[in-house]
Chains A and B, each alone.
Chain A
Amino acid sequence: MTTSTTRATAAGLSSASAVIGGEVTDSSLRRFLHGLPGVDAVGADQRAAGLGTRSIKTTAKAWALDTVIQMIDLTTLEGADTHGKVRTLCAKAVRPDPSSPDCPSVAAVCVYNDLVPVAVEALRGSGVHVAAVATAFPSGRAAMDIKLADTTDAVEAGAHEIDMVIDRGAFLSGRYLQVFEEIVATREACNAGGHSAHLKVILETGELVTYDNARRASWLAMLAGADFIKTSTGKIQPAATMPVTLVMLEAVRDWMAQTGRQVGVKPAGGIRHAKDAIKYLVMVSEVAGEDWLDPDWFRFGASTLLNDVLLQRQKLTTGAYSGPDYVTLD
C-alpha cells in the first residue's frame, strides 16, 4: 500500500471510528455492519411496490417530470463512445427539448474518464456537471494505484464528480477494511491538488445480491466518506431497482439521523420510463424525506429515460400524446 493511501486512511479513520465506536479494523467493521438491523426482503419489496402505486397527476406530474430531468446524470459508457457522441450528448444535456425553452438542463453528463476533457469543454458555463466513472470501472479489478491514477486523471481533467466502484470481491469475502480504505483513498484523490470532486460510490448491488449486503455496503461507503451512494454500474443485471434504492434511502436517512451528515443516492441503470422515475421520486419523498428531493442529493443514472420524460412533458403541455420523432435522438 502506498504512503498516500495510508495517510488518507488515517484521515478517514477518525470520523468512522466515532460512528462505530472504536478502532476501524476488519473485525470492528464486521461487528458494526452486521449489527445493523436486517432487511426482510419480502417486506422491502412490498414497501417499494406500495410506494409505486401512488397516483401522480397534473401539477404534481409536471413538477415531478421537471425534477426528474434536473436529477439525471445523462450517461454514455460505451466502448464505441467518440468525441462527437459526447458533444452531442452534452448539447442534449444542456437543452434537452429545443421546442420547449423552459425545459431544464440535466444535472450532469457521465462519461468514461478519457472523454472528460471533451465533456468539460462542451458543458463549460452551462451549469451541467461532468461526472466520470473511475477506479477501473465497471469491474474494479485493478491494482489500487491504477484505480487512484484513474481517479486523479479524471479529476485533473475537470470532472466535478467521480463515480467509483467498490471491490465487490473484497466486500463479499468480508474484507471490509480494504473496501473502506479504497473509498477513503479515492476520496482523497478527489480532493487532491486543490480539486473537490464529489465522490459517488457504486455498490453494484446486483452483485451483492441481498438487501442486507446493500445496507451494509451503504453504511461502509458512508463511513468511508462517500458523498453519494450509487446502486449500479449499469453493466450488471439487475441494476437499479425500487427496493434496493429503498434500502439505500433508509441508510442515508438513518446516517443523517446519527451523524448529521447528508449523503446522496443515485439509482443507475434500468430506469427507462418517466412513470418509473416518478415512483422513485415518491420513494425519495416518503422514505428519506423532502431534503433529498434535490439534484444535490438524488440523481438518476440514465440515458433513454430523458426522452421518455420529454415525451410525457410534451403530453402534459399539449394534451396530446407525443412520439419519438418529436424528441431528439441524443
Chain B
Amino acid sequence: MTPPATRAPARAEVRKTYKLYIGGKFPRTESGRSYEVTDSRGRFWANASQGSRKDARDAVVAARGAFSGWAGATAYNRGQVLYRVAELMEGRRAQFVDEVSRGEGITRPQAERVVSTAIDRWVWYAGWTDKVAQVAGNANPVAGPYFNLSAPEPTGVVAVLAPQDSSLLGLVSVLAAPLVMGNAVVLVSSRDRPLPAVTLSEVLATSDVPGGVVNVITGDAAEVAPWLASHSDVNAIDLAGAADLDWAALEARSAGTLKRVLRPRDGEVDWAATPSGPARILFFTETKTVWHPKGR
C-alpha cells in the first residue's frame, strides 16, 4: 500500500464516464442511475451506467431499425465489417488487456492471451458470413418439377445476456455469433465486469458496424433481462449470462411470443475453446425454403 497522497498530482487525470451504447450513440441510462464497478480485488474502479427496462426498450427499437439493413447487406460486406472490428480491437489491445486483467484478476500475460483469442474469435466469425448458407443450406430434391432451396436467414432482433465471468472473450463469443448472419443485438453486459463491453462499444462505434446493429446495456441482467424476455419485438434470447439467475423464469417469459431461447450451459464454460462449428450462428437463424416450378 502506498501512503496517502499528501499533495495533488502534477496533472489531474481525465476520467472516463462509462455510458450505454444504443443506436450508434452513447446515451446515459434513461434511469439516471449508476453503480460502482470494482476491480477483482474489490477496489473502486469506475461508475457504470445501470441500464433499465426503458434502455432495453430503446435498444430494441434501435435494433429493429437497423436489422433490415444489416441483414440485407451482402455476406461479403458483413464479413469485411466484422473483420474490421478485429482490426480495431487490435489497436485497442492495451486497453482491453488492462481491463480484462484488472477485472478478471488474471495476469497480464494471461490477459494478453484472452484478448488475442477474443480478436481471433471475431476473425473466425467474420469468415463465416459467406459460408454459413453453403454449409447449412441445400437444394432439396423434391419429387416434382420444382426448384427447391433451403437457406438460413437471420432470426431478427436477438437479446444477448453476456457471460458474467468472461468479460471480453465470452462477450465476443456470444455477440459475434448472432451478428454473422445479420441479426441485430441488444446485449446486456456482465454486471460486475462491464468495462470491456463499454470499450468494445467504442470500438464498434468507430467501426463500420452500422449504428443499432449492436446495442450494449451495462447493468444487472436480473433487472433488465425479464423485459427483454417478454418484449414482443425480440425474436430470440441468449441466456448465456443468466446461468446463475432464474433462467427458467426468463425462458418461461420468452414463451409469450415464442422466442428462440438459447439456454445457459450446465457448469463452467470454456470460452477459450474454438467453437467446433457454426452451431451458435445457426441457433439465431431461420431456415427458409423457397419453391418454384420448373416449366417452359
Contact = CB atoms under 8 A, between A and B. Distances in A.
Contacts of B293: 40-43
A2 B268 CA distance: 95
Nearest to A209: B296
B11 interface: no
Interface of A: 40-45, 209-211
B295 to A, nearest CB: 3
Contacts, number: 19
Interface in B88-139: none
Nearest to B293: A42
Nearest to A44: B295
- Chain B: number of interface residues, binned into ranges: under 10
Interface in B266-296: 293-296
A137 to B, nearest CB: 26
Nearest to B295: A41
Contacts of B295: 40-45
Contacts of A45: 145, 295
Which label, helix, strand, loop or mixed, suits the secondary structure of the B interface? loop
A40 B295 CA distance: 7
A211 B294 CA distance: 13
B76 interface: no
B45 interface: no
Which label, helix, strand, loop or mixed, suits the secondary structure of the A interface? helix
19 contacts: A40-B293, A40-B295, A41-B293, A41-B295, A41-B296, A42-B144, A42-B145, A42-B146, A42-B293, A42-B294, A42-B295, A43-B293, A43-B295, A44-B295, A45-B145, A45-B295, A209-B296, A210-B296, A211-B296
Interface centre among A40, A42, A43 (most CB of B within 10 A): A42
Nearest to A39: B295
Interface string B144-165: 1110000000000000000000
A247 to B, nearest CB: 12
Contacts of A44: 295
B232 to A, nearest CB: 38
Nearest to A41: B295
A211 B144 CA distance: 19
A165 B150 CA distance: 47
A216 to B, nearest CB: 14
A237 to B, nearest CB: 16
A43 B146 CA distance: 11
Contacts of B296: 41, 209-211
A26 to B, nearest CB: 24
A48 to B, nearest CB: 13
Contacts of A210: 296
**Nearest 3 pairs of A and B residues by beta carbon:** A41-B295, A42-B293, A42-B295
Interface in B181-198: none
A42 B292 CA distance: 10
A44 B295 CA distance: 10
Nearest to A211: B296
Given A43-B295, A45-B295, 11 more contacts: A40-B293, A41-B293, A41-B295, A41-B296, A42-B145, A42-B146, A42-B293, A42-B294, A44-B295, A45-B145, A211-B296
A112 B296 CA distance: 34
B288 to A, nearest CB: 21
A289 to B, nearest CB: 26
Contacts of A209: 296
